[in-house]
Structure 1
């Protein structure tokens, strides 16, 4: 029987995504990841070098998937925000991983190329739309993109108590209303 190295690597990434989303980098355990992936700890170190390397691979894969699945359209930032919201709804672990990343990687000096490149491309797309008169210039391109990104993830950053209060008022279609709030807030931001 031949071993499929790529299948093992994918299983490790899937298991690590769940583990890191639940426990962060410091709390994650490579033995649990290996067991969930039906592999062993040695494979984690073989493929990723360390637990930190595995987290970076998980975060990199998540970012690439999001960039590919939700390309920016600077001429329709409300629509872009809505598609990002949809992506967060479909993959709720994304915001958890991003939160752990911010908490545990801030100040390390290590920047993931996919995130740096994606942000630079998005900022330039927004700046080009501003230069062409398609977007307001009240905020810099980076500020405007940051506001759009944060509004897109607004609902996943609330406390459960805040969500419960709002959801009681939203009725049966909380997801639809939440998406509408995101897109309308971005539209209002653009004036």
Structure 2
């Protein structure tokens, strides 16, 4: 699947691009709730995003653009105390996201296994949970049982640095490490 994320939290633009380019998903860093970030306070706009997706005609059927939303997103802190369980429930049940994304504290930082386990439990068997940062060949088998897949970027770059070029050797290592870890099913392809 191919998707779009417009940083820091521009779901509107991401949806427009995804609809025009016939992409599968958008990633929204703050879909629900309010977070304090180095860019200022960011408020989720789930209702607006859902209405816009419907207006674009990409809310159902073959042209559907799924919404993958971070919970307790990296480089941010919730404005008020928020448990992983509440963040997941708000994102999936109130924000109607198609999947939740769990990250470490920063770009490339590994996901905390306890947090990931809490998110998996809160999402239930039918909720899609994706790793959003820090996946490596060294931790893939440890984290995979708690997730349905991963978004990988930084580890694939030369020396694992986000601004470097993609390293083909690292890509091959990652592909070998994750091959067979996740089943692709109809729910994960929506």
Taking structure 2 as the reference length, the TM-score comes to 0.28
Taking structure 1 as the reference length, the TM-score comes to 0.28
Indicate the structure whose relative CO is greater, using CA pairs within 8 Å and at least 6 residues apart: 1
Structure with higher Rg: it is: 1
Higher-helix-fraction structure: 1
Higher-strand-fraction structure: 2
